[in-house]
């Protein structure tokens, strides 16, 4: 509720601000470039404003899809794995799950967490009771 109120106040303040004279300039590829001057200050050559990195971020929490996926991502993992066997209808599971995720996230990749829905994967729940 407090977040919703804060968001409304923020949006109201942004909307109530006036546009500068003539409106905002159009965004073009030239607008995304930063001019650089030579030592004499005579020539200007555009260069990219910033570089975008496309490395993939590895998630520390993932859902198990089936038995072979469990075998591959949990049993054969080189990284220690915390396995959360949970159910949608389980109240304590809903409380414990986010706490486990926070603890695993604090480890910065040293530990990962696998989530197994016991209603979808009953065989895994029975096997790894």
* Residue positions annotated with a catalytic role: 90, 93
118 contacts 125 by C-beta, under 8 angstroms: yes
Q: Using alpha carbons only, give the angle 82, 55, 109 rounded to the nearest 5 degrees.
A: 20
Beta strands 61-63 and 33-37: pairing type? unpaired
Alpha carbons within 13 angstroms on the beta-carbon side of residue 31 total 5
Question: Is residue 82 classed exposed, middle or buried when 0-12, 13-18 and 19+ CB atoms within 10 A define those classes?
Answer: middle
Q: Which candidate, 87, 82, 92, places its Cα nearest to that of 60?
A: 82
């Amino acid at each position: 509720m407090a977040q919703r109120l804060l968001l409304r106040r923020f949006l109201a303040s942004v909307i109530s601000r006036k546009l500068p004279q003539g409106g905002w300039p159009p965004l073009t590829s030239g607008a995304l470039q930063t001019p650089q001057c030579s030592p004499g200050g005579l020539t200007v050559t555009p260069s990219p404003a910033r570089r975008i990195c496309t490395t993939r971020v590895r998630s520390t929490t993932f859902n198990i899809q089936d038995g072979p996926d469990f075998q591959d991502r949990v049993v054969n993992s080189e990284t220690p794995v915390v396995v959360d066997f949970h159910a949608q209808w389980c109240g304590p599971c809903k409380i414990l799950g986010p706490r486990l995720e926070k603890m695993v996230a604090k480890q910065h990749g040293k530990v990962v967490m696998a989530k197994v829905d016991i209603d979808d994967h009953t065989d895994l729940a029975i096997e790894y009771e």
